[in-house]
Chain A
């Protein structure tokens, strides 16, 4: 007796579905539930139902609004620069062809490095006094003093500085995806454009970029989501400082939960953050991504 295909498919999917239900959906449910309570940070302490109070407090807090804007700015900085650099490298590898293959592999190496190590490394390069970047710029005559730029200590520029390790880590990813997309562009199309006398800029903006659109969309969405969740690199470089100038949403939630001992408020912030991510993801998925519509 054979059970139906539908049952069999369900049977195969059940373990994974149960796992995700127990270890992702349930904690999410707990997060949302906690957001309606005032919770004592002490284990087993009192829990008082406060309705939407935590949400009002989140919206009333400058830290939350600030972190929201910083997260957005950080994401835009990271994704824009990564895209520009990744596209540049992908074009470089494409125009050089097969002979550059080994370098394409080498270019991938930061993807294997832990974000915490990358953050540490760049902190070491940018730190005041013994940071190498300031020293090299000084020796090259660009800076009058090695500490002229406080990469990680100047609140005005720190959000850019903390983005560098993230960009360094994942430009390779952007490059790989765009490179794969570039290989898809039919050679005769390029040839035809060339015969029509198209120069490099026209070729890039009129032919290559429009053809790459779906790949670009996917790469930007994937990286955008990751960048908006960035935590490790920022934590190890600045811990959100100075003066909260690099405190993004993940860090704020973490600190509210752990350092300030306010799990209720942190849960409300986490819920809002999650809703924002899901909204963006939903728009992205329904407009450009469309997974599952195979063949």
Chain B
């Protein structure tokens, strides 16, 4: 699809194009004289406009970032202060009590291990299935490939609640109920279509001559895929892996329907805090923080790749 490619190409192009004017606009003085030259594309040139825009951005960032900061602050309050009336933004007293309470509760640490296990199995499964499929779709433009990618797209429209129960009873019939395997298979039904779309767009960017050269050199087609093409798209595979991992890590409905005690993942445990132990907000906020922060950090570290994948995924999957 054209939009996807344009967006894809764009991440790279946009940066250098925008670099010029903003670098210039920071040099003081002759701004007025250069006004016409200064503004390239949609970028604002005038200093007063820019100041106003920065203030707007700062306000938006504060509003947008505050909820999560409040979650963090709350997690460091004492359990009683957590539900104090009126609430305070910062803790009156900083303590790790909520963390020790939350992590000390039976099943919480186990649920972390389950979450990690499930997400890893699901990511591997998605990649193993999606990489060859996407390659088959993009390299050989057959009718079946076209039908398949449409079918994968339709899969994305299926409401999880519609297939959750039949899927759960299928797993029970296969003797897999309440196992990380069953849940990771369920999660793969979500991440596989997305992975196929993402990988297709990455394969699309690989020049065909590459594996033609390899096959001329005596590689089989599978050999060419494995030894020549896969290394070229390894960055794309990494992005796809992150998306598959996140899809599983944050998933709740299938986890609610398909897990009981042994394979419960952390989102289900967080939700259960509400009923099982009364309203223990302090522990809930602590556990939510512990569960979210690793993936937020991961994202910030890999942000460039993830942004590229996210916009592609938007258009493609």
Residues of A that sit less than 8 Å from B by CB: 2, 5-6, 8-13, 15-17, 19-20, 23-24, 26-28, 30-31, 34, 89, 91-101, 103-117, 120-122, 124-125, 129-132, 135, 138-139, 146, 168, 171, 173, 176-177, 180-187, 190-191, 194, 208, 214-215, 218-219, 222, 225, 228-229, 231-232, 235-236, 249-250, 253-254, 257, 263, 266, 270-271, 273-274, 277-278, 281, 285, 289-294
B147 to chain A, nearest CB (A): 9
Please tell me if the beta carbons of A184 and B7 are within 8 angstroms of each other in the complex: yes
Please tell me if the beta carbons of B13 and A23 are within 8 angstroms of each other in the complex: no
19 contacts between A and B (CB under 8 A): A8-B221, A9-B144, A10-B136, A16-B148, A89-B60, A97-B44, A107-B61, A120-B270, A120-B284, A129-B85, A130-B83, A135-B86, A176-B310, A180-B311, A194-B39, A215-B315, A273-B159, A290-B1, A292-B149
State the CA gap A171–B141 with chains docked (Å): 35
Residue of A24, A116, A168, A270 touching B270 (CB-CB under 8 A): A116
State the CA gap A184–B158 with chains docked (Å): 32
B135 to chain A, nearest CB (A): 6
State the CA gap A224–B279 with chains docked (Å): 33
Interface stretch among B68-76, B93-101, B232-240?
B68-76
Which has the most chain A C-beta neighbours within 10 Å: B43, B169, B193, B274? B43
Q: Which residues does chain B contribute within 8 Å of A112, judged by CB atoms?
A: 246, 250, 292, 295-296, 298-299
If the complex has contacts A130-B83, A270-B162, are A114 and B314 also in contact, measured as CB distance less than 8 A? Answer: no
Q: Which residues does chain A contribute within 8 Å of B165, judged by CB atoms?
A: 31, 257, 263, 266
Query: Counting CB contacts under 8 A, is B145 at the interface?
Result: yes
Query: Counting CB contacts under 8 A, is B41 at the interface?
Result: yes
Q: Which of B178-193 contact A (CB under 8 A)?
A: 185-186, 188-189, 192-193
Q: Which residue of A lies closest to B144 (CB)?
A: A10
Please tell me if the beta carbons of A236 and B57 are within 8 angstroms of each other in the complex: no
A218 to chain B, nearest CB (A): 5
Please tell me if the beta carbons of A12 and B133 are within 8 angstroms of each other in the complex: yes
State the CA gap A125–B87 with chains docked (Å): 10
Please tell me if the beta carbons of B7 and A180 are within 8 angstroms of each other in the complex: yes
B273-312 interface code vs A (CB 8 A; 1 in, 0 out): 0100000010011001001100110111001001100110
Please tell me if the beta carbons of B166 and A130 are within 8 angstroms of each other in the complex: no
Residue of B22, B49, B144, B288 touching A120 (CB-CB under 8 A): B288
Residue of A109, A130, A208, A291 touching B1 (CB-CB under 8 A): A291
Please tell me if the beta carbons of A114 and B249 are within 8 angstroms of each other in the complex: yes
Query: Counting CB contacts under 8 A, is B161 at the interface?
Result: yes
If the complex has contacts A183-B10, A292-B146, are A113 and B250 also in contact, measured as CB distance less than 8 A? Answer: yes
Interface residues on B, range: 35 or more
Residue of B86, B157, B285 touching A146 (CB-CB under 8 A): B86
State the CA gap A257–B40 with chains docked (Å): 57
Please tell me if the beta carbons of B186 and A23 are within 8 angstroms of each other in the complex: yes
Q: Which residues does chain A contribute within 8 Å of B193, judged by CB atoms?
A: 20
Please tell me if the beta carbons of A231 and B252 are within 8 angstroms of each other in the complex: yes
B3-15 interface code vs A (CB 8 A; 1 in, 0 out): 1001100110111
Q: Which residue of B lies closest to A104 (CB)?
A: B307
Q: Which residues does chain A contribute within 8 Å of B315, judged by CB atoms?
A: 177, 215, 218
Q: Which residue of A lies closest to B54 (CB)?
A: A96
Q: Which residues does chain A contribute within 8 Å of B15, judged by CB atoms?
A: 98, 101
Q: Which residues does chain B contribute within 8 Å of A177, judged by CB atoms?
A: 7, 310-311, 314-315
Please tell me if the beta carbons of A176 and B307 are within 8 angstroms of each other in the complex: yes
Query: Counting CB contacts under 8 A, is B130 at the interface?
Result: yes
The 10 closest A-B pairs by CB, nearest first: A12-B136, A187-B41, A9-B140, A16-B133, A27-B166, A114-B250, A183-B14, A30-B166, A270-B162, A27-B163
State the CA gap A8–B215 with chains docked (Å): 14
Q: Which residues does chain B contribute within 8 Å of A257, judged by CB atoms?
A: 161, 165
Please tell me if the beta carbons of A231 and B161 are within 8 angstroms of each other in the complex: yes
Q: Which residues does chain A contribute within 8 Å of B109, judged by CB atoms?
A: none
Q: Which residues does chain B contribute within 8 Å of A131, judged by CB atoms?
A: 87
Query: Counting CB contacts under 8 A, is B129 at the interface?
Result: yes
If the complex has contacts A20-B155, A229-B160, are A106 and B3 also in contact, measured as CB distance less than 8 A? Answer: no
State the CA gap A6–B139 with chains docked (Å): 10
Please tell me if the beta carbons of A125 and B133 are within 8 angstroms of each other in the complex: no
Query: Counting CB contacts under 8 A, is B260 at the interface?
Result: no
Q: Which residues does chain A contribute within 8 Å of B68, judged by CB atoms?
A: 109-110, 113, 121
Please tell me if the beta carbons of A125 and B67 are within 8 angstroms of each other in the complex: yes
Please tell me if the beta carbons of B132 and A185 are within 8 angstroms of each other in the complex: no
Please tell me if the beta carbons of A109 and B162 are within 8 angstroms of each other in the complex: no
Please tell me if the beta carbons of B192 and A20 are within 8 angstroms of each other in the complex: yes
A90 to chain B, nearest CB (A): 10
Query: Counting CB contacts under 8 A, is B120 at the interface?
Result: no
